[in-house]
Amino acid sequence: MNVLLIGSGGREHALAWALCKSARTGSLFIAPGNPGTVRCGTNVALNASDHAAVLAFIEEHEIGLTVVGPEQPLVEGITDFLTANGKLVFGPTQAAAQLEGSKSFAKGIMKKYGVPTGDYLVFEGHEAGAAREHITRNNSWPMVLKADGLAAGKGVFIPQNLDEALWSLDALLADGLYGKPGSRLVIEEFLSGEEVSVFAVCDGKNTRILMHAQDHKRIGDGDTGLNTGGMGAYGPTPLLDEAGLEGVRLTVVEPMLRGMAAEGSPYTGVLYCGLMMTPDGPKVIEFNCRFGDPECQVIMPALQSDFTELLLAACEGRLDSYEPVVDTQSWYTCLVLASGGYPGSYEKGKVISGIPAESEQVQVFHAGTKTDESGRLVTNGGRVLNVVAKGETLADSIRLAYEAAAQISFEGLYKRTDIGAKGLARF
């Protein structure tokens, strides 16, 4: 079966790598892909927002399955359009993708179906006065203010005092930088603990948890500095054992699936549960409607089952009779190699050298790379490469990832030096 994958980041290189290993995949096309995905299939210049062009491509190339990597096309309704035209798509509908696309929607479903999450209030854009009053009255720090819609990771503020909170409120409401001007916002309880990402493949009724991983969102060692897309990940984590994961299935994933079905929007695709491990147990911080980046880069190498077969089982509603196999005996660590300056401004076009060959232990997934006019591989984004290593222990996988990463160079290369240390500290 020919497969089309939408996206171009490190997550999509990992997805392409897993899709092209499948016995079920015929030709694999990646739109638009990156220089790494070329080794897995054919990159095509298709704009995912142009639904008619995507459909025409699917028909011309006899695509049997379309896999959507990032959230934006899902929130824009690519699944609805292609499904209405009789095509098979892995990824939720526009209505179901609202679990990521609207924080107030996600909170409402969680509240209605009893899924553990922090307390919250929703304010419309014209309710600035009421929001200000709530912040002043509540006067408990830190506080969490979020833009309701997709904001590319920039819509969350965690003020530590009243001045910061009022500044954040103005920023969210006033200038439209963090969502549409005057749009809705959510003010919620600050949850403390460590964060874990749990990934469940869902078919509308049934779910299979693949793996859980821990991201490192801040730019600096020790989780300091600005938030990024993610500077590294490892999995599985010592924060959830088998019983803990079963608890997440029973208290989070299954009630959400039942709730979404009851609301008339059954959820098919990956449900990414961003959890805070609080003293009262895991609570949901957010849902995403796709795999995490860089978490996906540790999940794909751990997946032993045929990935295309798994996605087909989800799209066809047969996950109840399909049990994916995941390597739970090993540990996987992913290091992100970034451009100096990221997540602020950075230069592009730096020549990359020393990428080690793929082995049983090590994979290097591309993200912000491109091939220049002279055929050289150069940097082309903030997060440039993902180095993933498998080890018999977490410490081994961390060591192997850092050894492989040390072979790679480009001007300004930045990486955190403590990926996985949070996990090691728990043994």
Positions that interact with ligand AMP (CB under 6 A) = 118, 144, 156, 188-191, 195, 217, 274, 285-286
254 binds, among ligand AMP, ligand GLY, none (CB under 5 to 8 A by kind): none
**Cis peptide upstream of residue 255 (ω within 30 degrees of 0):** no
12 or 306: CB nearest ligand GLY: 12
293 binds, among ligand AMP, ligand GLY, none (CB under 5 to 8 A by kind): ligand GLY
Query: Alpha-carbon distance 399 to 389, whole Å?
Result: 9
Q: Which of 129, 207, 199 is nearest to 170 (CA)?
A: 129
- Minimum gap (Å) between residue 72 Cβ and ligand GLY: 12
295 binds, among ligand GLY, ligand AMP, none (CB under 5 to 8 A by kind): ligand GLY
240 or 285: CB nearest ligand AMP: 285
204 or 230: CB nearest ligand GLY: 230
Inter-residue contact 33 to 43 (CB < 8 Å): yes
- Minimum gap (Å) between residue 394 Cβ and ligand AMP: 21
Give the helix ranges, DSSP H, for 155-292. 162-174, 242-248, 254-262
Q: Which helix (H) or strand (E) holds 1?
A: none
- Minimum gap (Å) between residue 300 Cβ and ligand GLY: 14
- Minimum gap (Å) between residue 146 Cβ and ligand GLY: 14
- Minimum gap (Å) between residue 285 Cβ and ligand AMP: 5
**Strand order, beta sheet including 194-203:** 281-288, 268-278, 194-203, 207-215, 232-235, 331-338, 383-391, 362-366
- Minimum gap (Å) between residue 217 Cβ and ligand GLY: 7
| Buried-state track 242-265, b at ≥16 Cβ within 10 A, e below 16 | eebbeebbebbbbbbbebbeebeb
85 or 251: CB nearest ligand AMP: 251
* 83: helix, strand or coil: helix
The CA-to-CA distance between both ends of the chain, in Å, stands at: 44
5 or 378: CB nearest ligand GLY: 5
Contact positions vs ligand GLY (CB under 6 A): 215, 230, 288, 292-293, 295
Inter-residue contact 144 to 156 (CB < 8 Å): yes
272 or 410: CB nearest ligand AMP: 272
